[in-house]
Structure 1
Amino acid sequence: MKPERAYDELRRFQLETAYYESLGALAAWDQRTYIPRKGHAHRARQFAALAQLLHRRRTDPRIGEWLDALEGSPLVADPESPAAVNVREWRRDYERAVRVPEKLAVALAEAKSEGESAWESLRAKNNWTAFKPYLKRLLDLQREYAEAVGYETEPYDALLEDYEPGERAERLTRLFDELGAATRRLLEGILGSSVRPPTEVLHRDFPVATQREVVHEVTAALGYNLEGGRIDPTAHPFELSVGPGDVRITTRYYPDYFNAAFFGSVHEAGHAMYEQGLPAEHWGSPMGQAVSMGVHESQSRLWENMVGRSLGFWRRFYPLVQARFAALAGVPLEDFHLAVNAVKPSLIRVEADEVTYNLHILIRFELELALFRGELEVDDLPGAWNEKYRAYLGVTPPDYKDGVMQDVHWGSGLFGYFPTYTLGNVYAAQLFARAEAELGPQEPAFERGEFAPLLEWMRKKIHAHGRRYPPRRLVEEATGEPPTAIYLIHYLEDRFGALYDL
């Protein structure tokens, strides 16, 4: 078969698979937003049936035949061309897929759906005992999956590969050692400071209807195209791309707390802007896909924190917010800005400040490693969780829902996902530093309401490349040097040193 024909047939086949996947994404969004309570069991069976269909397509022997006809041909001679990138990444995906038995793929899909539904209802009831069987089943299946796809050093690396290709537990351990030490030094200084942020101003009356209006206006101003998206309430915020022109985000509202919906929405809008910036003409192929969750998180964390918690941003938006919420009448901008940047060790990861956030991720990383190394059992997880929270953050969860059950990830079988949050912080700081070097200081632009230059820089340097480069290479191409934690450390020291008079 001629390479051109092989590529056309492979491209059409993979595009059809992508349409099935997008229908699954729509079902996943529905499950986490508006599905009737009694519909979860049927949805799990739907996901199992879809997983069987997708597994058969992803392992279709014709994919291997098409790839054989393409590899080494002139069509893929330029390794950075869209055709070459697609062929390389399709080969990677195919080789991983064929190692997973169909029975395991279907069981995982069903267990993930059931686990997520169970988490949503059982967390609210603080019922760890009832949730444990779901978690144990998912852990067993993920261990089986890791053995099936293979690894060089340890099972956890096989899971990392699904979210951050090329990343390894050994390198992450070194990163967390460096970042953890710097974080503890900074946190010690902050806790010893006489500065006391007036965080009580964030815990007043914030009508949910008004919050909805504000988050729609602000995320649109940042660049989230709401004509191709929507914002809905959910138990755990997320972004989900159904396809070109349909990239959705969710948030959760508290009538007596400002931060959750506002910063959660900006965070998810960062994810959505990445998806909206991917080349639509390459949708359904690797060139039209995000390269990794770490890079994805770099976009969400950058917009949430480096943009959304900056003084320039609030000089622009505080008059709007203050005018909408009577609870903020008389609260000076400087007090509000200090409050939204307050640093305090806490229980809840998604509400954690920038300084302590990576300690939350470190805890989950260490627990996941212990689980997959056989050093920790699910029955002992709550005790290990509480012990690490006391040691690293000086707080102890009063119950399961705000402790070991607080995140949806384990209930969804997403082991290996958590480290990408910290990688996202590392990448974001490095990317933002380079963007400022090329565009100039961004806070004056934010104050003027000019967010498009930064978004366009990200579109050019990150979004447009899809999976052209592996994640670490992509960051290096964008910034001129390999990923390093030093930019994040300096960013945190500079911002919070100034806020806390260190």
Structure 2
Amino acid sequence: MSEEKKLNQKLQRLQSLLKDVTNLNNASALLGWDQQTYMPPGGAAARAEQLATLEKLAHQLFTTDEIGQLLADLADAGFEYDSDEAALVRVARREYDLARKLPPALVEEMSRTFSLAQQIWQKARAEKDFSQFQDILAKIVDLNIQAAEAYGYDDNIYDALLNQFEPGMKTAEVDAVFNQLKAELVPLVQAISAKKETVDDSPLRQNFDEQAQWDFGLIPLRAIGFDFERGRQDKSAHPFTTSFSVNDVRVTTRVYKDQFATAIFGTLHEGGHALYEQGSAAELDGTMLAGGTSLGVHESQSRLWENVVGRSRAFWQFYYPRLQEFFPAQLGQVSLDDFYRAINRVEPSFIRVEADEVTYNLHIFLRFELEQELLTGRLAVADLPAAWNAKMQSYLGVTPPDDSQGVLQDIHWSGGMMGYFPTYTLGNVMSLQFYNRALADIPDLPEQFARGEFGALLGWFREHIHRHGRKYTATELIRRTTGDDGIKAGPYLAYIRQKYSDIYGLGE
């Protein structure tokens, strides 16, 4: 048998084994989606066991010596770097090396704990009582520490967890980007606060029928390119996106009758994630190459559609008359200009997902700092609510009135996701690097938005980002797409500075 034929057989065997692993992971994702949408509360304990079993099986199947040997044999096969074959070996090798470091018992315990914790968190949040969540959060922190020690790191334990969500990124690099942002955003918030009376957001805090909000949100979701033949939207306690295939991508949102912005911008945000998931090349479906290459790149897509597009004047030039048709009593007498300013009002607030563009990153900074303190033992879980409130006061000048609007607001820690939060701000930064490149290639994008046309922008992202799935790292995608040699905060800061100076008349 020729060497080429042997390599081809090994590649087919690897692809077959990895497809089984991917199918098990997708089955877990489907159970996770159901857990957060339709599962009755009484199903929590059984669901935790089901997920633990599936994730144990996936881990066992993935970490076999056979897969390790196949990856070793194929590493020197001479595949072209840009080929799907070379990318599959690269990505699977990275994932395999990490998975082998985790003891199977730890994988099973993490899955079981994180599943149970989500139900405990939901109840604690509803009852505004951190004490109900405290013990299991302490266990979650400990499990993350165990995982980080198993993965290994040079000098910062946070690096090991950050690497799960933003491969190759170091905490020191995040610090450098965040410090550049802080230097400009903190004084900008202060300057805007001095002129906060110039923008009124009361039109958004009227009584908006919840079903009408839901119905309206589906219109732009479909228009930006979400394919309802390959996806659906449901409601959940915390908005999220998940996928089980390129052809089955689920988004959720939440609707409040007296907070109009929550549903529409939640829908656009999750829609951005979903466009990325639906946009992987068809031939990558069912392989480890489908989906987003990092959480930062994923958040660049969601934050771009939510904010750069969704909070733009051009977007609402088209959609505001339609929105007024849905809510004539509430918005019939509110001008487009007043509505545009209202949805872009800057005001320190308690809830991250409802924060404006300028203060949003401050919410991320405090979570990033608190996670590091928890993981290094500098902060005890019991002291977390007080530390949270102190940092909220320091960064934003507000103190949450209760735990549900403070330390309990996010789902991430209940799902074991420590090291995730920085990717939101990294995504904000990347979104402007990508958007500026798209705008250079398609200069009339804002005019297209004003006509309700988003196909050119989506097509640009399909070509440059989405179709590649996980073939390239975030750094490689940025370099290939923009020419930049990594994450650069400059374009994002310039966008924020110009947009909000115009809205608030800064410098006048």
TM-score per shorter chain, which class? over 0.9
Cα distance in 2 for partners of 1:224, 1:305 equals: 17
Shift of 1:399: 1.1
Cα distance in 2 for partners of 1:130, 1:192 equals: 39
Which among 332, 336, 339 is matched to residue 336 of structure 1?
339
Q: Where does residue 289 of structure 2 map in the other structure? A: 287
Q: Where does residue 369 of structure 2 map in the other structure? A: 366
Shift of 1:391: 0.6
Q: Where does residue 31 of structure 1 map in the other structure? A: 35
2:418 aligned partner, one-letter code: F
Does the aligned pair in 1 maintain the 2:299–2:428 contact within 8 Å? yes
Q: Are 2:164 and 1:165 aligned? A: no
Shift of 1:55: 1.0
Q: Where does residue 121 of structure 2 map in the other structure? A: 119
| Count of paired positions | 500
Shift of 1:413: 0.8
Cα distance in 1 for partners of 2:288, 2:130 equals: 39
Unmatched segments (≥5 aa) in structure 2? none
1:332 aligned partner, one-letter code: S
Q: Deviations over 1:159-187 (max 9, x none)?
A: 01110001111111111111011101221
Give the 3-state SS of the residue equivalent to 1:375 in structure 2.
coil
Shift of 1:194: 6.2
Which among 424, 427, 432 is matched to residue 427 of structure 2?
424
Q: Deviations over 1:108-144 (max 9, x none)?
A: 0001101111111111011211110110011101100
Q: Are 2:396 and 1:393 aligned? A: yes
Which among 1, 8, 24 is matched to residue 12 of structure 2?
8
Shift of 1:284: 2.6
Cα distance in 1 for partners of 2:451, 2:91 equals: 41
Q: Where does residue 128 of structure 1 map in the other structure? A: 130
Q: Deviations over 1:169-210 (max 9, x none)?
A: 111111111101110122122112265222110011211111
CA change 1:303–1:403 in 2 (3 A) is: same
Cα distance in 1 for partners of 2:45, 2:243 equals: 24
Cα distance in 2 for partners of 1:10, 1:53 equals: 17
User: Normalising by the residue count of structure 1, what TM-score does the alignment of the two structures yield?
Assistant: 0.98
Q: Where does residue 239 of structure 1 map in the other structure? A: 241
Shift of 1:51: 1.4
Which among 94, 101, 104 is matched to residue 103 of structure 2?
101
Q: Where does residue 475 of structure 2 map in the other structure? A: 472
User: Normalising by the residue count of structure 2, what TM-score does the alignment of the two structures yield?
Assistant: 0.97
Q: Where does residue 462 of structure 1 map in the other structure? A: 465
2:106 aligned partner, one-letter code: L
Q: Where does residue 416 of structure 2 map in the other structure? A: 413
Q: Where does residue 486 of structure 1 map in the other structure? A: 490
Cα distance in 1 for partners of 2:439, 2:73 equals: 45
Q: Deviations over 1:12-40 (max 9, x none)?
A: 11112111111111110100001011011
Greater shift, 454-463 or 183-192, is seen at: 183-192
Cα distance in 2 for partners of 1:244, 1:299 equals: 16
Cα distance in 2 for partners of 1:235, 1:208 equals: 15
Q: Where does residue 149 of structure 1 map in the other structure? A: 151
Q: Where does residue 188 of structure 2 map in the other structure? A: 186
Greater shift, 238-247 or 486-495, is seen at: 238-247
Does the aligned pair in 2 maintain the 1:291–1:470 contact within 8 Å? yes
Cα distance in 1 for partners of 2:276, 2:283 equals: 15
Which among 376, 379, 383 is matched to residue 380 of structure 1?
383
Does the aligned pair in 1 maintain the 2:230–2:248 contact within 8 Å? yes
Shift of 1:107: 0.2
Q: Where does residue 252 of structure 2 map in the other structure? A: 250
> What is the identity percentage for the equivalent residue pairs of Structure 1 and Structure 2?
43
Cα distance in 2 for partners of 1:379, 1:126 equals: 15
Give the 3-state SS of the residue equivalent to 1:232 in structure 2.
strand
2:304 aligned partner, one-letter code: L
CA change 1:194–1:238 in 2 (3 A) is: closer
Q: Where does residue 77 of structure 2 map in the other structure? A: 73
Give the 3-state SS of the residue equivalent to 1:32 in structure 2.
helix
Greater shift, 194-203 or 435-444, is seen at: 194-203
Q: Where does residue 267 of structure 2 map in the other structure? A: 265
Cα distance in 1 for partners of 2:139, 2:152 equals: 20
Give the 3-state SS of the residue equivalent to 1:494 in structure 2.
helix
Q: Where does residue 496 of structure 1 map in the other structure? A: 500
Does the aligned pair in 2 maintain the 1:85–1:286 contact within 8 Å? no
Does the aligned pair in 2 maintain the 1:208–1:255 contact within 8 Å? yes
Q: Where does residue 451 of structure 2 map in the other structure? A: 448
Greater shift, 480-489 or 187-196, is seen at: 187-196
Cα distance in 2 for partners of 1:193, 1:51 equals: 52
1:122 aligned partner, one-letter code: A
Unmatched segments (≥5 aa) in structure 1? none
Cα distance in 2 for partners of 1:175, 1:273 equals: 27
Does the aligned pair in 2 maintain the 1:195–1:501 contact within 8 Å? no
Give the 3-state SS of the residue equivalent to 2:251 in structure 1.
strand
Cα distance in 1 for partners of 2:235, 2:347 equals: 27
Shift of 1:285: 2.4
Which among 80, 90, 93 is matched to residue 91 of structure 1?
93
Cα distance in 1 for partners of 2:285, 2:196 equals: 53
Give the 3-state SS of the residue equivalent to 2:244 in structure 1.
strand
Cα distance in 1 for partners of 2:423, 2:232 equals: 25
